[in-house]
């Protein structure tokens, strides 16, 4: 095993009715004036925003609100949030929504602590944040894992760049996870969420590390099998509480660091390739990952053969073939079959986009630049490899 630091300071309040405890939780966390930050429609329509406000009022916690966060959250909304919070004297941000709302909240929280600097500099890699206002979440979709992660992904709509900034200081203080809140999700969002959850563990699993990691691998494989099982249940039965609960808990454990303990940090090339698609075409993140993954896998599997074989047998349940190569390829094909069963795309055409050669070259250049030249552990990818994978995925 590699050395590691495992840091998960987020208190998890899991189960039915958790949203009604939000006021008390904020009071315990020392919040005096809270920004309730949310998305487009869903949390207003379901009554969750009213419920949240009532919980804060009951606990005597003052609040202001800002809605309108869109998927692939925009820098302009972050700037609007920073200005509003400065004016209102906000000292705590409560995200009510999914990864986009939580990430927008984290970015506002960074911006408020360094009000004289442009917050986008963090995402450009020009500096590190000095600190961050406290953030908490009421989660409405199991997907990004931002409710426990140190990550925050923002899109600069002026440049078309979607960039991540990772820092432990932004990990939420607490997160309320009530599986019932996810029952209003359209199937496409539920399944995109499942694809993203799996990918957060797969990114950590496909490494070139040669050290044995039995416990971490076993947890990773169990998580992946669990999400596959319940993604299919939810495809048929979206109101199934147990399935919602399993997927929600998996979503947090998949991206809080647990399934990466002892690895070399993971691969993360599929995520970086997808972020370019998100920045240019505004696609749904999890669906974008599904659309690119098998092309990435077929491009790199020979360089990471033992892990692909292990994945095929232990996760996809395929019978070993005549050679390791055959087993690995059977595992990749089985993963594509799974994506098809939950109506996820397996290529860019099915995702609904058709990048031109010029756009492919632009994305590959931008991806390589954002990665500092190259990315990957299963296989180190350079700009020309990234372009080749986009072409394979057409």
By the criterion CB under 6 A, which residues form the site for ligand NZQ? Answer: 39-43, 71-73, 97-101, 103, 140-141, 143-146, 149, 151-153, 181-182, 184-185, 189, 193, 196, 255, 271, 278, 285-286
State the minimum distance, in angstroms, from the CB of residue 83 to Zn ion. 29
Q: CB–CB of 160/280 below 8 Å?
A: yes
State the minimum distance, in angstroms, from the CB of residue 222 to Zn ion. 20
Question: Among residue numbers 178 through 207, which ones bind Zn ion (CB under 5 A)?
Answer: 196
Q: Could you tell which of ligand NZQ, Zn ion, none binds residue 23, using a CB distance below 5 to 8 A set by kind?
A: none
The smaller minimum CB distance to Zn ion, of residues 196 and 276, is found at: 196
Q: Could you tell which of ligand NZQ, Zn ion, none binds residue 103, using a CB distance below 5 to 8 A set by kind?
A: ligand NZQ
- The two structure tokens encoding residue 27: 């009071």
User: Which contacts (CB < 8 Å, 24+ apart) does range 333-341 have?
Assistant: 335/293, 335/294, 335/297, 336/294, 338/228, 339/195, 339/290, 341/232, 341/235
Q: How many angstroms separate the most distant Cα atoms in the chain?
A: 67
Count of residues engaged in binding Zn ion, rule: CB under 5 A: 1
The smaller minimum CB distance to Zn ion, of residues 23 and 260, is found at: 260
State the minimum distance, in angstroms, from the CB of residue 196 to Zn ion. 4
State the minimum distance, in angstroms, from the CB of residue 45 to ligand NZQ. 8
**Distances in whole angstroms, Cα of residue 344 to Cα of each of 53, 281, 290, 335:** 36, 17, 7, 11
The smaller minimum CB distance to ligand NZQ, of residues 46 and 359, is found at: 46
- The two structure tokens encoding residue 134: 């406290």
State the minimum distance, in angstroms, from the CB of residue 318 to Zn ion. 25
State the minimum distance, in angstroms, from the CB of residue 27 to ligand NZQ. 25
Q: CB–CB of 121/94 below 8 Å?
A: no
The smaller minimum CB distance to Zn ion, of residues 195 and 213, is found at: 195
The smaller minimum CB distance to Zn ion, of residues 82 and 95, is found at: 95
Burial 360-371 (b: 16+ CB within 10 A, else e): bbbbbebbbebb
Q: CB–CB of 6/63 below 8 Å?
A: no
Residue ranges that bind Zn ion, judged by CB under 5 A: 196
């Amino acid at each position: 095993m590699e050395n590691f630091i495992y840091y998960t300071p987020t208190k998890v309040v899991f189960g039915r009715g958790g949203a009604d405890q939000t006021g008390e939780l904020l009071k315990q966390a020392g919040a005096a004036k809270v920004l309730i930050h949310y998305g487009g429609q869903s949390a207003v329509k379901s009554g969750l925003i009213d419920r949240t406000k009532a919980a804060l009022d009951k606990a005597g916690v003052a609040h202001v609100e800002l809605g309108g966060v869109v998927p692939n959250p925009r820098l302009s909304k972050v700037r609007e949030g920073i200005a509003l919070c400065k004016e209102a004297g906000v000292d705590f941000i409560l995200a009510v929504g999914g990864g986009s709302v939580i990430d927008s909240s984290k970015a506002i929280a960074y911006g408020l602590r360094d009000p004289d600097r442009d917050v986008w500099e963090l995402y450009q890699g020009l500096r590190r944040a000095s600190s961050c206002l406290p953030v908490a979440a009421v989660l409405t979709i199991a997907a990004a894992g931002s409710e426990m992660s140190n990550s925050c992904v923002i899109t600069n709509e002026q440049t078309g760049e979607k960039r991540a900034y990772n820092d432990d200081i932004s990990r939420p203080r607490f997160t309320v996870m009530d599986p019932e809140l996810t029952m209003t999700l359209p199937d496409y969002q539920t399944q995109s969420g499942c694809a993203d959850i799996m990918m957060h563990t797969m990114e950590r699993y496909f490494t070139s590390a040669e050290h044995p990691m039995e416990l971490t691998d076993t947890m990773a494989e169990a998580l992946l099998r669990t999400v596959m099982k319940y993604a299919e249940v939810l495809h048929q039965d979206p109101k199934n509480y147990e399935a919602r609960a399993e997927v929600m808990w998996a979503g947090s454990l998949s991206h809080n660091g647990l399934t990466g303990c002892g690895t070399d940090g993971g691969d993360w090339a599929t995520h970086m390739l997808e972020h370019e698609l998100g920045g240019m075409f505004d696609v749904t993140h999890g669906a974008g990952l599904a659309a690119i993954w098998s092309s990435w896998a077929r491009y790199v599997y020979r360089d990471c053969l033992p892990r692909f074989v292990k994945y095929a047998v232990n996760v996809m349940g395929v019978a070993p073939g005549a050679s390791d190569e055959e087993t690995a390829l059977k595992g990749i094909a089985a993963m594509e079959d799974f994506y098809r069963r939950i109506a996820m795309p397996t290529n860019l055409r099915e995702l609904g986009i058709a990048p031109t050669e010029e756009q492919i070259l632009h994305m590959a250049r931008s991806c390589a630049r954002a990665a500092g030249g190259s990315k990957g552990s299963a296989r180190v990818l350079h700009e020309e490899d990234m372009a080749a994978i986009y072409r394979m995925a057409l």
